[in-house]
Amino acid sequence: MFPPIMLAHGALGPYDEVIFLGVIALFITFMALSWILSRNTKPKFDREPVVDSPSSHQDDSPERFKLD
Amino acid sequence: MTRQSASSWISRLFLLSVLFGLISGVRAHGYIVRALPPDGAVLERPPARVQYWFSESLEPEFSAVNVRGPDGTIIASGGVSPDNDSLMSARLPSGLPQGTYIVELRLAFASDGHVLTESQVFSVGAAADGIAGIRANSAALPLEVLWRTLLLSSLLLLFGVYTLYALVLLPAWGSPDHPAGLLPPRVMRRLNTVVLWAFVLAFAGSLLALLQQTMVFYGVDAAQAIASGFINTVRTSTRFGDVWNMRMLFLTLAAALHAASLYGRHSQPESVRAFWVANAWLFALILGTLSVASHAAGSPLWPWLAMTNDWLHLLAVGFWVGGLAAFVLVLPPALQPYTGETRRLALLAALRRLSRIATLCVAVVITTGIYASLNWLYSPADVTSTTYGTALLLKVLLVGLLVALGAAHHLALRPRRYQRFGALIARIGDFGLTLRLETASAALVLGAVGLLSATPIPKPAFLNTQVAAPAATVSAADFSVTQTLLPGGPGINTYETLLQRGGQPVESPSVRVQMVRPEADWRGTWHLAESAGDGLYVTTGDEIDAQGLWWTLVDVTQADGSVTRAAFAWSITQDAAVQQTRAPQLQHLLALAAVLAVLLWALYPALMRFLRWLDLRPELVLIAVLATGAVIFFAVIGYNAIRDNQLAAAARLNPPPSIVNTVLPDAQSLARGAALYQQACLGWPQNDDLRFLRRDLPAMRDQAVFAAVRDGWRALPACAAPLSAQQRWDIVNYLRTFERER
């Protein structure tokens, strides 16, 4: 017995629900993981050179600018 | 916020909504892929029913078909077939007079909830002048345009804001000096304001969507839709409602997460970034709900792939357009403390990252757009000869303009590397004008997308070829038996049997139908046809799975219990099949390869990071390669073994016959067979093994029964020679009637 039709568009086969719910589960997992990682790790700002004045940059365009 | 700034905000968001909303316009809808009778057909005698196959599924509760007779009154009504939700049919009463009939179709497409009305015409006897079917009106409904505008623009903006924050603003401007969100409070305030208004628009658009859908489904005004409770019915019993529920669930969760980030920004400032990053994933999922309810899901070629492609397209548009809009909105407060070269440096730090990702997004938008368009174009001529193709060309030209502007920005961001373009770079200056120009160009592209979406999908030319359903009439006893196969090609078919005696319908205690493919020596099960009144008996089956010769055997039981056989021979061709799918062609594969190449390009840095993370010592690499090779080797071996076993099993179950029945088992053949059985198969009626032969008959193929007649079977002797092959087949056909007595 297949689960009740919730999202199936039709013509996609009897596994519509499994695939749709699988994709939802995958993204919710990514969401939860990204929340946990962002919550528990500090951003790696120090790796890249920071400019905060015209005299401090060497490149065409800086990758970072620390906003006041 | 002062009244003036609020007003300014509203006007900006309204403008963005209008610009983004152009992307949705009115979605082109599904269409009829097969009509029986065809529109404008002139028939010699009235059909038993009307049937219409569509390119997409329909909502059964809200789709209907009415047939009006020559005097304008409704003579028959029908709806969506319970077995096939892309088929609408209506049974017609018998004895219809000559004249012109109008079939009114009310179509509610399940994918997007569009409700259309369309009419088709057929005539019996002679065609009437001046009466023609009316094509579906694809004009936009203002309320639908409004909610699509609100919903799509707000969802793209929300996805753009969250991804811009995570991928551009945070790495470019982030600082641990600002614990809540890692960006200055003035920037976070602006982003929060954008998010707040976008959420309001998204919820308003969603609620309007449900209201408008209820209004069109039930044909009521807004007040009635709300007061009657119809809204809940639409929400809980339609596919539109299912997707709407899912989207609202995710949207509410996203709003809750954002509210949590605001609530905890003082007590738990480190959580703000976590909630924002999490919401980027959630909005990617929410954009996916738009693809589920898009026409991509009804694509004639690889619907799953088309839907995934549509999702990728939306995600890329979301970052490109939504992110660009969010960036333009956040720039004023972000750069407010700076002037001159410092301001330029601050802008460049973010713009460089934005430009890098936007370039990838544009590539994804272009390649996925090409792939999506190819799903609906059947020949190069469609580009120039159809409105859809013209709109597509316009869109491509505008995208070209946008790409040129992006390239100019790319040069201006690296003035030292591209000194030879100094004049152009000088004209770009501080990006103020060109950024606005790029936003305006993006709006023009979105307008072209809106035009494209609003343009009906071109119907493939082969659909204009009218293929009549196979039909034939034979006489059996004193009956006239007419059988029609609908549509008459490989696939699911309706078998209609009309019984008449002297032109009048005849009722029978039972009518049974069996499909036979003699070339494969294969017989289907007997179907007990359902009486539809007026002598019409209907049943459905999927036995016809290939082109070639097929027989239909019809056993009509009369009131006195006697059985009359009618048999039909059909030459089934693919032309008569309802074609709702298409085979991939070279251009599809090339477009798909382009999409994959762009994705690989986009993911290249992440892949390289992953590779660097791996321990790539030679011995480990060797083990990994060997292990992977072994897995592939055994997978291929296993796949081939399973396939060979399946083919062998199929061949064992139904091998090609060594001798093929060439005699149609009609009433004459059965009569000849009965007489020959009495004369030649002496001793069979008294032999006990005849009982076992009767028992085994349903499982025996014709060639086995033929061999029994020719050579004998167990204690049954061979039927006496000399018998020709045709005579033996007559006996085989007669012996098959023993199955009736089971």
- For the cut 50, the answer to whether the pLDDT of residue B603 exceeds it is yes
Question: Which of B337, B345, B416 is the closest to A51 by Cβ?
Answer: B345
What integer pLDDT is reported at residue B235 of this predicted model?
87
pLDDT tens-digit readout, B385-405? 777 778 778 878 888 888 888
The CA–CA distances, whole Å, from B401 to B19, B437, B452, B732 equal: 17, 10, 18, 75
In chain B, the percentage of residues whose pLDDT exceeds 70 is 91
What integer pLDDT is reported at residue B407 of this predicted model?
82
Q: Who wins on pLDDT, B321 or B598? A: B598
Which of A21, A23, A31, A67 to substitute to test the interface with B, most B CBs within 10 Å? A67
Tell me if B562 sits within 8 A of B479, measured CB to CB: no
Which of B169, B247, B277 to substitute to test the interface with A, most A CBs within 10 Å? B277
What average pLDDT does this structure show over B105-117?
Answer: 82
In chain A, the percentage of residues whose pLDDT exceeds 90 is 18
- For the cut 80, the answer to whether the pLDDT of residue B83 exceeds it is no
What integer pLDDT is reported at residue B14 of this predicted model?
46
- For the cut 50, the answer to whether the pLDDT of residue A10 exceeds it is no
Q: Cβ of B173 and A66 within 8 Å?
A: yes
Where residue B29 falls among pLDDT bands split at 50, 70, 90? low
pLDDT tens-digit readout, B483-534? 998 888 888 788 989 898 888 888 887 999 999 999 999 999 999 998 877 7
The one-letter amino acid at B694: R
Name the β-bridge partners of B505: B500
Of A51-65, B152-166, B176-190, B579-593, least confident by mean pLDDT is A51-65
What average pLDDT does this structure show over B34-48?
Answer: 81
- For the cut 70, the answer to whether the pLDDT of residue B21 exceeds it is no
What average pLDDT does this structure show over B442-464?
Answer: 67
Tell me if B390 sits within 8 A of B384, measured CB to CB: yes
What average pLDDT does this structure show over B42-59?
Answer: 83
Of B29-43, B315-329, B724-738, least confident by mean pLDDT is B29-43
Of B36-50, B123-137, B625-639, least confident by mean pLDDT is B123-137
The mean pLDDT value of chain B amounts to: 85
Rounded to whole angstroms, how far apart are CA atoms B685 and B682? Answer: 8
Q: How far is C-alpha B245 from the chain's CA centre?
A: 21
Of B30-39, B95-104, B319-328, least confident by mean pLDDT is B30-39
| A44, closest residue in chain B (CA to CA) | B171
Whether chain B has a CB inside 8 Å of the CB on A35: the answer is yes
Domain ranges of chain B: 3-26+141-461, 32-124, 468-575, 615-655, 667-741
Which residues of A fall within a CB distance of 8 Å from B352? 61-63
Which of A30, A31, A44 to substitute to test the interface with B, most B CBs within 10 Å? A31
pLDDT tens-digit readout, B661-672? 999 999 999 999
What integer pLDDT is reported at residue B483 of this predicted model?
93
3.50.50.60, 3.40.50.300, 2.60.40.1220, 2.60.40.10: CATH of B32-124? 2.60.40.1220
Identify the three-state secondary structure at position B106: strand
Q: Cβ of A34 and B184 within 8 Å?
A: no
Q: Looking at the domain B468-575, which fold is it?
A: Immunoglobulin-like (2.60.40)
Q: Which of B518, B374, B337 is nearest to A53 (CA)?
A: B337
Give φ, ψ of B71 to 5 degrees: -90, 5
- For the cut 80, the answer to whether the pLDDT of residue B219 exceeds it is yes
β-pairing verdict for B41-43 and B64-68? unpaired
How many A-B residue pairs are in contact by the CB < 8 A criterion? 133
What integer pLDDT is reported at residue A49 of this predicted model?
55
Which residues of A fall within a CB distance of 8 Å from B417? 60
- For the cut 50, the answer to whether the pLDDT of residue A2 exceeds it is no
Q: Cβ of B171 and A67 within 8 Å?
A: no
Where residue B453 falls among pLDDT bands split at 50, 70, 90? low
Which residues of A fall within a CB distance of 8 Å from B351? 61
Whether chain B has a CB inside 8 Å of the CB on A10: the answer is yes
Question: Which of B246, B271, B282 is the closest to A31 by Cβ?
Answer: B282
- For the cut 70, the answer to whether the pLDDT of residue B694 exceeds it is yes
What integer pLDDT is reported at residue B381 of this predicted model?
79
Q: Cβ of A38 and B348 within 8 Å?
A: no
How many CB atoms sit inside 10 A of residue B461's CB?
Answer: 11
Which of B345, B410, B431 to substitute to test the interface with A, most A CBs within 10 Å? B345
Q: Cβ of B284 and A27 within 8 Å?
A: yes
What integer pLDDT is reported at residue B211 of this predicted model?
93
What integer pLDDT is reported at residue B140 of this predicted model?
59
Tell me if B553 sits within 8 A of B514, measured CB to CB: yes
Of B181-185, B388-392, B589-593, least confident by mean pLDDT is B388-392
Q: Cβ of B242 and A5 within 8 Å?
A: yes
What integer pLDDT is reported at residue A9 of this predicted model?
44
- For the cut 80, the answer to whether the pLDDT of residue B129 exceeds it is no
What integer pLDDT is reported at residue B117 of this predicted model?
83
| Interface pTM, i.e. ipTM | 0.81
Of A17-26, B6-15, B317-326, B677-686, least confident by mean pLDDT is B6-15
What integer pLDDT is reported at residue A43 of this predicted model?
75
What integer pLDDT is reported at residue B44 of this predicted model?
75
Give φ, ψ of B716 to 5 degrees: -75, 130
What integer pLDDT is reported at residue B734 of this predicted model?
96
What integer pLDDT is reported at residue B277 of this predicted model?
94
Q: Cβ of A45 and B346 within 8 Å?
A: no
What integer pLDDT is reported at residue B582 of this predicted model?
78
Task: Tell me the angle at which helices B230-237 and B185-218 cross, rounded to the nearest 10 degrees.
Answer: 100
Which residues of A fall within a CB distance of 8 Å from B86? 10-11
Rounded to whole angstroms, how far apart are CA atoms B441 and B439? Answer: 5
- For the cut 50, the answer to whether the pLDDT of residue B10 exceeds it is no
pLDDT tens-digit readout, B250-303? 999 999 999 999 998 889 888 999 999 999 999 999 999 888 877 787 777 888
Where residue B368 falls among pLDDT bands split at 50, 70, 90? very high
What average pLDDT does this structure show over B660-688?
Answer: 93
Whether chain B has a CB inside 8 Å of the CB on A17: the answer is no
Q: What is the DSSP string of B607-651?
A: HHHHHHHS---HHHHHHHHHHHHHHHHHHHHHHHHHHHHHHHHHH
What average pLDDT does this structure show over B78-85?
Answer: 86
- For the cut 90, the answer to whether the pLDDT of residue B592 exceeds it is yes
Q: Cβ of A60 and B293 within 8 Å?
A: no
Q: How far is B411 from chain A (nearest CA, A)?
A: 10
Which residues of A fall within a CB distance of 8 Å from B293? 9
What integer pLDDT is reported at residue B393 of this predicted model?
82
Residues sharing a CB contact under 8 Å with residue B554, sequence separation 6 or more, in sequence order: B481, B483, B497, B511, B512, B513, B565, B566, B567, B568
Which of B182, B190, B243, B285 to substitute to test the interface with A, most A CBs within 10 Å? B285
What integer pLDDT is reported at residue B430 of this predicted model?
72
pLDDT tens-digit readout, B331-366? 999 998 988 888 888 888 898 888 889 889 989 988
Give φ, ψ of B25 to 5 degrees: 50, -135
What integer pLDDT is reported at residue A1 of this predicted model?
41
What average pLDDT does this structure show over B608-634?
Answer: 91
Q: Which of B195, B127, B197, B120 is nearest to B164 (CA)?
A: B195
For residue B238, with 0-12 CB atoms within 10 Å meaning exposed, 13-18 middle and 19 or more buried, which class applies? buried
Q: Which of A4, A37, A32, A67 is nearest to B347 (CA)?
A: A67
Q: Who wins on pLDDT, B612 or B135? A: B612
